[in-house]
Structure 1
Amino acid sequence: MNRIARYLLALALGLSLSPSGAAAHPHVFIDAGLRLNYDDAGQLAEVEVEWRYDAFYSLLILEDQGIRPVAGGGLAAEDAALLAGFDWGPDPSFEGALYLAVEGRRIALQQPRDFSVALEGGQIVSRHRRALSAPIPGEAQTIIQVYDPEFYVDFSVPQMPVLRGRDDCRVDLRPGDSYAAADAYAAALREALASELAAASLVDEEMVTVNIGPVGAPEMRVACGAGR
């Protein structure tokens, strides 16, 4: 189970959600925003990531940490520092919900840096930066997806990514399909539970982890210059 899922599941259990409520997926809704940074050679070198949590889970996180907004609805500097990077951890299997590919080849990303957290309109907004392990030519069509393969978090990308360093790019944003993701999750969960029952193992379905991959994920196709 990834870092976000573990943290938010702990919150849910701590608040004694009913079994029927706890079993529903997804538990968390996040609007993701991206900024693509191109270097002086016109290569895609870095992605700045913003996660805007839904108001309900924002409230749970604040209550869990004993944080109260300051006048005006923001966070005190010490509270913002406390929360910075709260949705990351040392788990090496957590890929950060951000996936880049060129010609079917996965592009490796470095570990995140420059964490920050703000409270805007009652929603926690978490930000970080991910440098590519090696910059890629801007002319190469880059496919960018944002998703949680365990579907604990439902990511959406409501706005086009912002591009910095080039002004000759074409971006095709294809919204995700939460219904397709939910159907895939339900089918995978049924299969997993059937396997557990066949093994005579009694298991809480909330503790079963399934992977639906990129089914229903938002997708952006980006290419610049001659590659458009």
Structure 2
Amino acid sequence: MRKLLTLILSSLIATSLAAHPHIFVDTGLELITSDAGEMTHVRVTWEYDEFYSLLITEDMGLDGDGDGLLTEAELDRLSGFDMNWIEGFNGDLVARLGETEIPLSDPQEVTASFAEGRITTTHLRAFEEPIPAGETLVMKAYDPTYYTAYELSRPVRVEGSGTCDVRRKAPKLDNELRELQQQLATLDAEMDPEDVGLPDIGAQMAGSVHVTCAAS
């Protein structure tokens, strides 16, 4: 059975690497506020696509009986598999106030779960400085190279006291963006889009979240 799975995976890999992106992640955000209405932290949820989840569980030797369930020991091993960040990596998450980028802490409170063939992980990050009430925070989840596609398809909410306005904005699907998508589809799997004149392509493809909290 394992040999058959290896053959299937090899075939799927050859097919999936025909174009960008290669990994798909349903993403959710939870902004955490203080009693004064300041945004202090963001909890990030990543739910990986079934194919990538299968690759990870197979590579780590998890779910050996193939029942789609992981033991507590296996979940402990899985937890943090996507947190081995190199120095300078921003976690594929950018937060801005106007034109100013807001630094975020390293990930904390890491969790992992597995259900219906998909891995879901969460981690918490603190804003270097709390976002004052009344200011609009703009967040984008994206990989600049577009190797990984982050879709803000999971809940985006605020936890804490006070009233906050949360708005999602999809990327504007104009002729320029359609042309970029067509160019991406023709790229060799191992080619970096920036090498062919498509810098920061992930940012252009990404939607954004705009959050403003009133003072308590």
Is 1:117 the counterpart of 2:112? The answer is yes
Mapped partners of 1:163, 1:177: distance in 2: 25
- Alignment partner, residue 184 of structure 1: 180
- TM-superposed CA distance for 1:41, in Å, is 2.4
Quickly say closer, same or farther: Cα 1:114–1:182, change in 2 above 3 A.
farther
- Alignment partner, residue 163 of structure 1: 158
Is 1:208 the counterpart of 2:197? The answer is no
- Is the partner of 1:60 in helix, strand or coil? helix
**Are the counterparts in 1 of residues 19 and 184 from structure 2 also a CA contact under 8 Å?**
no
Q: Among all aligned residue pairs of Structure 1 and Structure 2, give the percentage whose two residues are the same amino acid.
A: 32
Quickly say closer, same or farther: Cα 1:70–1:32, change in 2 above 3 A.
farther
- Alignment partner, residue 52 of structure 1: 47
Is 1:86 the counterpart of 2:81? The answer is yes
**Are the counterparts in 2 of residues 170 and 223 from structure 1 also a CA contact under 8 Å?**
yes
- Alignment partner, residue 217 of structure 1: 206
Name structure 1 gaps, 5 residues minimum. 1-10, 194-203
Cα-to-partner distance string for 1:151-200 (whole Å, 9 max, x where unaligned): 0111111244121113411111123479976853765898xx9xxxxxxx
Cα-to-partner distance string for 1:39-90 (whole Å, 9 max, x where unaligned): 2222100000110011111111111111107897432112111121211224
- TM-superposed CA distance for 1:36, in Å, is 0.5
Mapped partners of 1:208, 1:215: distance in 2: 15
**Are the counterparts in 2 of residues 189 and 208 from structure 1 also a CA contact under 8 Å?**
no
Mapped partners of 1:173, 1:108: distance in 2: 21
Is 1:129 the counterpart of 2:124? The answer is yes
2:169 alignment partner, one of 159, 168, 174: 174
**Are the counterparts in 2 of residues 160 and 171 from structure 1 also a CA contact under 8 Å?**
no
Stretch of structure 1 that moved more, 103-112 or 76-85? 76-85
- Alignment partner, residue 197 of structure 1: none
- TM-superposed CA distance for 1:130, in Å, is 0.6
State the superposition RMSD in angstroms.
3.0
Stretch of structure 1 that moved more, 148-157 or 167-176? 167-176
Q: Which has the higher contact order (CA 8 A, sep 6+)?
A: 2
Task: Map residues 85-104 of structure 1 onto 2, 5 A cutoff.
Answer: 85-104=80-99
Quickly say closer, same or farther: Cα 1:168–1:90, change in 2 above 3 A.
closer
**Are the counterparts in 2 of residues 156 and 176 from structure 1 also a CA contact under 8 Å?**
no
How many pairs does the alignment contain?
201
- Is the partner of 2:30 in helix, strand or coil? strand
Name structure 2 gaps, 5 residues minimum. 1-5, 195-199
Is 1:106 the counterpart of 2:101? The answer is yes
| Misfit runs of 4+, over 6 Å | 69-72, 177-182
- Alignment partner, residue 145 of structure 2: 150
**Are the counterparts in 2 of residues 98 and 147 from structure 1 also a CA contact under 8 Å?**
yes
Mapped partners of 1:161, 1:120: distance in 2: 21
- Is the partner of 1:214 in helix, strand or coil? helix
